[in-house]
Amino acid sequence: MSKFNSQSISSIRKTIGWAATGIGVLLLANAVYKEFAKYKLEGKVVLITGGSRGLGLVLARALAARGAKLAICSRSADKVELARQELEKTGAEVIAMPVDITSRDQVRTMIQDVVRHYGKLDVLINNAGIIQIGPQEAMSIEDYEQAMQTNFFAPLYAIDAALPYFRKQGEGKVINITSIGGKIAMPHLLPYSARKFALVGLSEGMHAALKKHNVSVTTVVPNLMRTGSPRNAMVKGDHEAEYAWFKIAASSPLLSQHVEAAAENIIKAIEYRASETVLSLSGKLATVVKAIAPGWVSMALSVADRLLPDYIPGNIETKRGYEVESQKSQGPVAMLSDTAAAKNNQM
Protein backbone atom coordinates (compact mmCIF):
# COMPACT_ATOMS: atom_id res chain seq x y z
CA MET A 1 0.00 0.00 0.00
CA SER A 2 2.84 2.31 0.93
CA LYS A 3 4.63 1.47 -2.32
CA PHE A 4 1.46 2.18 -4.32
CA ASN A 5 1.00 5.55 -2.62
CA SER A 6 4.63 6.45 -3.26
CA GLN A 7 4.32 5.55 -6.93
CA SER A 8 1.04 7.48 -7.24
CA ILE A 9 2.52 10.59 -5.63
CA SER A 10 5.57 10.34 -7.88
CA SER A 11 3.31 10.02 -10.94
CA ILE A 12 1.22 13.02 -9.89
CA ARG A 13 4.35 15.09 -9.34
CA LYS A 14 5.62 14.19 -12.80
CA THR A 15 2.27 15.07 -14.36
CA ILE A 16 2.20 18.41 -12.58
CA GLY A 17 5.79 19.04 -13.60
CA TRP A 18 5.09 18.31 -17.28
CA ALA A 19 1.91 20.42 -17.15
CA ALA A 20 3.82 23.34 -15.63
CA THR A 21 6.52 22.96 -18.26
CA GLY A 22 3.89 22.91 -21.01
CA ILE A 23 2.21 26.03 -19.66
CA GLY A 24 5.58 27.76 -19.40
CA VAL A 25 6.40 26.87 -23.01
CA LEU A 26 3.01 28.15 -24.18
CA LEU A 27 3.42 31.42 -22.28
CA LEU A 28 6.92 31.86 -23.70
CA ALA A 29 5.71 31.09 -27.21
CA ASN A 30 2.87 33.57 -26.80
CA ALA A 31 5.28 36.27 -25.57
CA VAL A 32 7.63 35.60 -28.49
CA TYR A 33 4.73 35.73 -30.96
CA LYS A 34 3.45 39.01 -29.47
CA GLU A 35 6.89 40.57 -29.85
CA PHE A 36 7.20 39.24 -33.40
CA ALA A 37 3.74 40.61 -34.32
CA LYS A 38 4.29 43.90 -32.48
CA TYR A 39 3.28 46.94 -34.52
CA LYS A 40 6.39 48.99 -35.18
CA LEU A 41 5.77 52.73 -34.91
CA GLU A 42 9.06 53.86 -36.39
CA GLY A 43 8.39 55.63 -39.69
CA LYS A 44 4.61 55.41 -39.24
CA VAL A 45 2.51 58.51 -39.85
CA VAL A 46 0.38 59.31 -36.81
CA LEU A 47 -2.29 62.03 -36.69
CA ILE A 48 -3.29 63.24 -33.22
CA THR A 49 -6.30 65.52 -32.86
CA GLY A 50 -5.90 67.88 -29.93
CA GLY A 51 -2.17 67.27 -30.16
CA SER A 52 -1.10 70.74 -29.05
CA ARG A 53 -1.53 70.24 -25.30
CA GLY A 54 -2.33 67.82 -22.50
CA LEU A 55 -2.51 64.11 -23.27
CA GLY A 56 -2.28 64.75 -27.02
CA LEU A 57 1.04 66.55 -26.64
CA VAL A 58 2.39 63.92 -24.25
CA LEU A 59 1.43 61.22 -26.77
CA ALA A 60 3.17 63.18 -29.52
CA ARG A 61 6.37 63.34 -27.47
CA ALA A 62 6.32 59.60 -26.76
CA LEU A 63 5.54 58.70 -30.38
CA ALA A 64 8.28 60.98 -31.66
CA ALA A 65 10.72 59.16 -29.38
CA ARG A 66 9.72 55.94 -31.15
CA GLY A 67 10.45 57.44 -34.55
CA ALA A 68 6.89 58.13 -35.69
CA LYS A 69 6.15 60.94 -38.14
CA LEU A 70 3.60 63.26 -36.59
CA ALA A 71 0.68 65.40 -37.61
CA ILE A 72 -1.05 67.39 -34.87
CA CYS A 73 -4.03 69.70 -34.94
CA SER A 74 -5.72 72.16 -32.62
CA ARG A 75 -8.35 74.85 -32.85
CA SER A 76 -5.72 77.36 -31.66
CA ALA A 77 -3.09 78.26 -34.27
CA ASP A 78 -0.81 79.66 -31.55
CA LYS A 79 -0.98 76.55 -29.37
CA VAL A 80 -0.38 74.10 -32.21
CA GLU A 81 2.55 76.14 -33.50
CA LEU A 82 4.09 76.21 -30.02
CA ALA A 83 3.74 72.42 -29.81
CA ARG A 84 5.29 71.98 -33.27
CA GLN A 85 8.31 74.04 -32.29
CA GLU A 86 8.81 72.01 -29.11
CA LEU A 87 8.55 68.68 -30.93
CA GLU A 88 10.88 69.73 -33.73
CA LYS A 89 13.54 70.69 -31.18
CA THR A 90 13.63 67.02 -30.13
CA GLY A 91 14.24 65.97 -33.75
CA ALA A 92 10.64 64.98 -34.50
CA GLU A 93 9.21 65.23 -37.98
CA VAL A 94 5.91 67.00 -37.53
CA ILE A 95 3.31 69.08 -39.31
CA ALA A 96 0.88 71.26 -37.34
CA MET A 97 -2.54 72.40 -38.51
CA PRO A 98 -5.11 74.77 -37.01
CA VAL A 99 -8.37 72.88 -37.48
CA ASP A 100 -11.91 73.14 -36.14
CA ILE A 101 -12.65 69.43 -35.76
CA THR A 102 -16.39 70.09 -35.49
CA SER A 103 -16.30 71.12 -39.17
CA ARG A 104 -16.61 68.06 -41.40
CA ASP A 105 -15.06 69.93 -44.33
CA GLN A 106 -12.04 71.05 -42.28
CA VAL A 107 -11.51 67.52 -40.98
CA ARG A 108 -11.64 66.09 -44.50
CA THR A 109 -9.14 68.69 -45.68
CA MET A 110 -6.88 67.92 -42.70
CA ILE A 111 -6.74 64.20 -43.60
CA GLN A 112 -6.03 65.07 -47.24
CA ASP A 113 -3.22 67.43 -46.19
CA VAL A 114 -1.57 64.75 -44.03
CA VAL A 115 -1.64 62.21 -46.86
CA ARG A 116 -0.42 64.82 -49.34
CA HIS A 117 2.50 65.74 -47.09
CA TYR A 118 3.61 62.26 -46.00
CA GLY A 119 2.17 60.12 -48.76
CA LYS A 120 0.12 58.05 -46.31
CA LEU A 121 -1.63 57.92 -42.94
CA ASP A 122 -1.09 54.92 -40.68
CA VAL A 123 -2.61 55.81 -37.31
CA LEU A 124 -5.44 58.18 -36.38
CA ILE A 125 -5.72 59.12 -32.70
CA ASN A 126 -9.02 60.82 -31.84
CA ASN A 127 -7.99 62.66 -28.70
CA ALA A 128 -9.46 66.19 -28.90
CA GLY A 129 -12.38 67.04 -26.68
CA ILE A 130 -13.98 69.39 -24.19
CA ILE A 131 -15.31 68.89 -20.68
CA GLN A 132 -18.19 70.70 -19.00
CA ILE A 133 -18.53 70.65 -15.21
CA GLY A 134 -21.64 71.52 -13.23
CA PRO A 135 -24.97 70.24 -11.93
CA GLN A 136 -27.59 68.81 -14.25
CA GLU A 137 -29.87 71.81 -13.63
CA ALA A 138 -27.25 74.18 -15.07
CA MET A 139 -26.78 72.25 -18.30
CA SER A 140 -28.70 73.28 -21.40
CA ILE A 141 -29.58 71.30 -24.51
CA GLU A 142 -26.94 73.39 -26.28
CA ASP A 143 -24.30 72.09 -23.84
CA TYR A 144 -25.15 68.52 -24.83
CA GLU A 145 -25.14 69.41 -28.52
CA GLN A 146 -21.72 71.05 -28.19
CA ALA A 147 -20.40 68.03 -26.31
CA MET A 148 -21.67 65.59 -28.94
CA GLN A 149 -20.32 67.69 -31.78
CA THR A 150 -16.81 67.81 -30.32
CA ASN A 151 -16.48 64.37 -28.74
CA PHE A 152 -18.64 62.20 -30.99
CA PHE A 153 -19.18 63.67 -34.42
CA ALA A 154 -15.64 65.05 -34.71
CA PRO A 155 -14.07 61.57 -34.23
CA LEU A 156 -16.67 60.15 -36.63
CA TYR A 157 -15.75 62.77 -39.25
CA ALA A 158 -12.07 61.86 -38.88
CA ILE A 159 -12.67 58.11 -39.14
CA ASP A 160 -14.91 58.59 -42.17
CA ALA A 161 -12.30 60.77 -43.91
CA ALA A 162 -9.41 58.40 -43.11
CA LEU A 163 -11.12 55.14 -44.12
CA PRO A 164 -10.68 55.49 -47.90
CA TYR A 165 -6.92 55.85 -47.41
CA PHE A 166 -6.76 52.94 -44.96
CA ARG A 167 -8.66 50.69 -47.37
CA LYS A 168 -6.43 51.70 -50.26
CA GLN A 169 -3.30 50.97 -48.18
CA GLY A 170 -4.75 47.69 -46.98
CA GLU A 171 -4.41 48.61 -43.30
CA GLY A 172 -4.84 51.35 -40.74
CA LYS A 173 -5.34 52.02 -37.06
CA VAL A 174 -7.88 54.16 -35.21
CA ILE A 175 -7.39 54.98 -31.53
CA ASN A 176 -10.38 56.54 -29.78
CA ILE A 177 -9.63 58.20 -26.44
CA THR A 178 -12.85 57.81 -24.47
CA SER A 179 -13.16 57.91 -20.66
CA ILE A 180 -14.29 55.98 -17.62
CA GLY A 181 -17.14 58.50 -17.93
CA GLY A 182 -18.16 56.49 -21.01
CA LYS A 183 -18.62 53.39 -18.85
CA ILE A 184 -20.07 54.98 -15.70
CA ALA A 185 -22.11 58.20 -15.84
CA MET A 186 -20.39 60.64 -13.51
CA PRO A 187 -22.42 63.27 -11.59
CA HIS A 188 -21.82 66.91 -12.51
CA LEU A 189 -20.24 65.70 -15.79
CA LEU A 190 -23.39 64.66 -17.65
CA PRO A 191 -22.75 66.11 -21.14
CA TYR A 192 -19.23 64.69 -20.94
CA SER A 193 -20.44 61.24 -19.91
CA ALA A 194 -23.21 61.18 -22.51
CA ARG A 195 -20.83 61.86 -25.38
CA LYS A 196 -18.23 59.44 -24.03
CA PHE A 197 -20.85 56.67 -23.83
CA ALA A 198 -21.65 57.42 -27.46
CA LEU A 199 -17.98 57.33 -28.45
CA VAL A 200 -17.42 54.01 -26.64
CA GLY A 201 -20.34 52.53 -28.57
CA LEU A 202 -19.05 53.91 -31.87
CA SER A 203 -15.54 52.66 -31.18
CA GLU A 204 -16.63 49.15 -30.23
CA GLY A 205 -18.94 48.95 -33.24
CA MET A 206 -16.24 50.21 -35.61
CA HIS A 207 -13.81 47.63 -34.23
CA ALA A 208 -16.16 44.83 -35.30
CA ALA A 209 -17.16 46.40 -38.62
CA LEU A 210 -13.72 47.42 -39.90
CA LYS A 211 -11.71 44.33 -39.01
CA LYS A 212 -12.52 42.78 -42.38
CA HIS A 213 -10.75 45.73 -44.01
CA ASN A 214 -7.65 45.17 -41.84
CA VAL A 215 -8.43 48.40 -39.99
CA SER A 216 -8.10 47.98 -36.24
CA VAL A 217 -9.94 50.19 -33.77
CA THR A 218 -8.80 50.53 -30.18
CA THR A 219 -11.02 51.94 -27.43
CA VAL A 220 -8.93 53.67 -24.77
CA VAL A 221 -10.66 54.20 -21.41
CA PRO A 222 -8.64 56.54 -19.18
CA ASN A 223 -9.59 57.76 -15.73
CA LEU A 224 -8.66 61.23 -14.50
CA MET A 225 -5.15 62.20 -15.58
CA ARG A 226 -2.76 64.86 -14.36
CA THR A 227 -2.53 66.80 -17.62
CA GLY A 228 -3.30 70.30 -16.32
CA SER A 229 -6.58 70.28 -18.26
CA PRO A 230 -8.84 71.67 -15.47
CA ARG A 231 -7.62 75.18 -16.39
CA ASN A 232 -9.44 74.92 -19.71
CA ALA A 233 -12.54 73.11 -18.47
CA MET A 234 -15.94 74.76 -18.96
CA VAL A 235 -17.59 75.37 -15.58
CA LYS A 236 -21.23 76.14 -14.75
CA GLY A 237 -23.19 76.60 -11.52
CA ASP A 238 -21.25 77.50 -8.37
CA HIS A 239 -18.14 78.20 -10.43
CA GLU A 240 -15.48 78.32 -7.71
CA ALA A 241 -16.77 75.28 -5.85
CA GLU A 242 -17.33 73.22 -9.00
CA TYR A 243 -13.89 74.03 -10.33
CA ALA A 244 -12.27 73.30 -6.97
CA TRP A 245 -13.62 69.75 -6.58
CA PHE A 246 -12.76 68.86 -10.17
CA LYS A 247 -9.27 70.32 -10.08
CA ILE A 248 -8.42 68.62 -6.77
CA ALA A 249 -9.79 65.27 -8.00
CA ALA A 250 -7.85 65.59 -11.27
CA SER A 251 -4.69 66.43 -9.28
CA SER A 252 -4.90 63.78 -6.58
CA PRO A 253 -2.46 60.86 -6.97
CA LEU A 254 -5.15 58.66 -5.39
CA LEU A 255 -7.76 59.49 -8.03
CA SER A 256 -5.79 60.50 -11.10
CA GLN A 257 -3.12 58.90 -13.25
CA HIS A 258 0.27 60.28 -14.26
CA VAL A 259 -0.21 61.40 -17.86
CA GLU A 260 3.14 60.01 -19.07
CA ALA A 261 2.18 56.58 -17.71
CA ALA A 262 -1.19 56.83 -19.45
CA ALA A 263 0.50 57.72 -22.74
CA GLU A 264 2.85 54.73 -22.48
CA ASN A 265 -0.12 52.41 -21.86
CA ILE A 266 -1.92 53.83 -24.90
CA ILE A 267 1.13 53.27 -27.09
CA LYS A 268 1.42 49.68 -25.83
CA ALA A 269 -2.23 49.17 -26.82
CA ILE A 270 -1.33 50.37 -30.33
CA GLU A 271 1.77 48.20 -30.54
CA TYR A 272 0.03 45.06 -29.30
CA ARG A 273 -3.19 45.65 -31.26
CA ALA A 274 -5.55 45.75 -28.26
CA SER A 275 -9.25 46.18 -28.95
CA GLU A 276 -9.73 48.00 -25.63
CA THR A 277 -7.54 49.19 -22.79
CA VAL A 278 -8.75 50.54 -19.45
CA LEU A 279 -5.78 52.55 -18.21
CA SER A 280 -6.14 52.64 -14.43
CA LEU A 281 -6.74 50.03 -11.74
CA SER A 282 -9.56 52.14 -10.28
CA GLY A 283 -11.20 52.26 -13.71
CA LYS A 284 -10.94 48.49 -14.10
CA LEU A 285 -12.41 47.92 -10.64
CA ALA A 286 -15.23 50.38 -11.30
CA THR A 287 -16.27 48.67 -14.54
CA VAL A 288 -16.19 45.23 -12.88
CA VAL A 289 -18.25 46.40 -9.91
CA LYS A 290 -20.80 48.03 -12.21
CA ALA A 291 -21.14 44.79 -14.19
CA ILE A 292 -21.64 42.75 -11.01
CA ALA A 293 -23.66 45.19 -8.91
CA PRO A 294 -25.05 48.05 -11.01
CA GLY A 295 -27.48 49.01 -8.25
CA TRP A 296 -24.65 49.65 -5.81
CA VAL A 297 -22.83 51.83 -8.31
CA SER A 298 -26.01 53.80 -9.02
CA MET A 299 -26.56 54.37 -5.29
CA ALA A 300 -22.93 55.45 -4.80
CA LEU A 301 -23.20 57.94 -7.67
CA SER A 302 -26.41 59.36 -6.19
CA VAL A 303 -24.61 59.89 -2.87
CA ALA A 304 -21.69 61.53 -4.68
CA ASP A 305 -24.08 63.86 -6.48
CA ARG A 306 -25.53 65.02 -3.14
CA LEU A 307 -22.04 65.76 -1.81
CA LEU A 308 -21.10 67.94 -4.80
CA PRO A 309 -21.91 71.70 -4.87
CA ASP A 310 -25.56 72.69 -4.92
CA TYR A 311 -27.14 74.33 -7.94
CA ILE A 312 -27.49 78.11 -7.70
CA PRO A 313 -30.76 78.98 -9.48
CA GLY A 314 -30.20 81.13 -12.53
CA ASN A 315 -26.42 80.70 -12.47
CA ILE A 316 -25.94 79.09 -15.89
CA GLU A 317 -23.08 81.20 -17.22
CA THR A 318 -20.14 79.20 -18.57
CA LYS A 319 -16.65 80.16 -17.39
CA ARG A 320 -13.24 78.64 -18.00
CA GLY A 321 -11.40 77.04 -15.10
CA TYR A 322 -8.59 79.58 -15.09
CA GLU A 323 -11.21 82.35 -14.72
CA VAL A 324 -12.56 80.97 -11.43
CA GLU A 325 -9.40 80.09 -9.51
CA SER A 326 -9.84 80.74 -5.77
CA GLN A 327 -8.42 79.64 -2.45
CA LYS A 328 -10.68 76.58 -2.73
CA SER A 329 -8.75 75.38 -5.78
CA GLN A 330 -5.28 76.03 -4.35
CA GLY A 331 -3.02 73.93 -2.15
CA PRO A 332 -0.31 71.28 -2.43
CA VAL A 333 -2.54 68.72 -4.20
CA ALA A 334 -4.01 71.23 -6.67
CA MET A 335 -0.49 72.45 -7.39
CA LEU A 336 0.21 69.15 -9.15
CA SER A 337 -2.31 70.17 -11.79
CA ASP A 338 -0.73 73.62 -12.14
CA THR A 339 2.69 72.04 -12.63
CA ALA A 340 1.29 69.69 -15.29
CA ALA A 341 -0.45 72.61 -17.02
CA ALA A 342 2.82 74.52 -17.35
CA LYS A 343 4.60 71.40 -18.62
CA ASN A 344 1.94 70.39 -21.14
CA ASN A 345 1.11 73.67 -22.91
CA GLN A 346 -2.15 74.24 -20.98
CA MET A 347 -1.36 77.78 -19.80
What is the structure's pLDDT at 20? 60
What is the structure's pLDDT at 35? 62
When the pLDDT of each residue in the chain is averaged and rounded to a whole number, the result is 92
- For the stretch 51-95, pLDDT in tens is 999 999 999 999 999 999 999 999 999 999 999 999 999 999 999
CA distance 323 to 240: 9
- For the stretch 103-148, pLDDT in tens is 999 999 999 999 999 999 999 999 999 999 999 999 999 999 999 9
* Residues β-bridged to residue 46: 70, 123
Q: Does residue 294 fall inside a structural domain?
A: no
The whole-number average pLDDT for the span 6-22 is: 65
Q: Is the dihedral of CA 159, 40, 171, 210 positive or negative?
A: negative
Q: Does residue 5 fall inside a structural domain?
A: no
Closest CA to 128 of 204, 49, 75, 228: 49
- Angle (nearest 5°) at CA 46 between 43 and 47: 155
CA distance 334 to 121: 39
Judge whether 122 and 44 are in contact, CB under 8 Å. Answer: yes
Decide: helix, strand or coil at residue 162.
helix
**DSSP summary character for residue 308:** S
Cα-to-chain-centroid distance, residue 294: 24
Q: Does residue 208 fall inside a structural domain?
A: yes
**DSSP summary character for residue 310:** P
Element (H, E) at 157: helix 154-169
Q: Does residue 205 fall inside a structural domain?
A: yes
Question: Which string of DSSP letters, residue by residue, matches 82-136?
Answer: HHHHHHHHTT--EEEEE--TT-HHHHHHHHHHHHHHHS---EEEE-----EES-G
- For the stretch 329-344, pLDDT in tens is 999 999 999 999 999 9
CA distance 138 to 237: 6
Pairing of strands 215-221, 172-177: parallel
Residue type, 270: I
Decide: helix, strand or coil at residue 167.
helix
Q: Does residue 328 fall inside a structural domain?
A: no
Closest CA to 50 of 74, 66, 32: 74
- For the stretch 260-314, pLDDT in tens is 999 999 999 999 999 999 998 888 988 999 999 999 999 999 999 999 999 988 8
Catalytic residue among 165, 192, 272, 311: 192
Cβ neighbors of 316 (< 8 A, separation 6 or more) are 138, 140, 236, 237
Reply yes or no on whether the pLDDT at 1 is more than 90: no
Q: Does residue 279 fall inside a structural domain?
A: yes
Burial classification of residue 154, based on how many CB atoms lie within 10 Å of its CB (0-12 exposed, 13-18 middle, 19 or more buried): buried
What is the structure's pLDDT at 14? 67
Tell me whether residue 33 is one of the annotated catalytic residues: no
| Host domain of residue 100 | 38-229+256-289
Q: Does residue 331 fall inside a structural domain?
A: no
Q: Does residue 145 fall inside a structural domain?
A: yes
What percent of the chain is modeled with pLDDT above 70?
89
Domain count, the chain: 1
CATH number for 213: 3.40.50.720
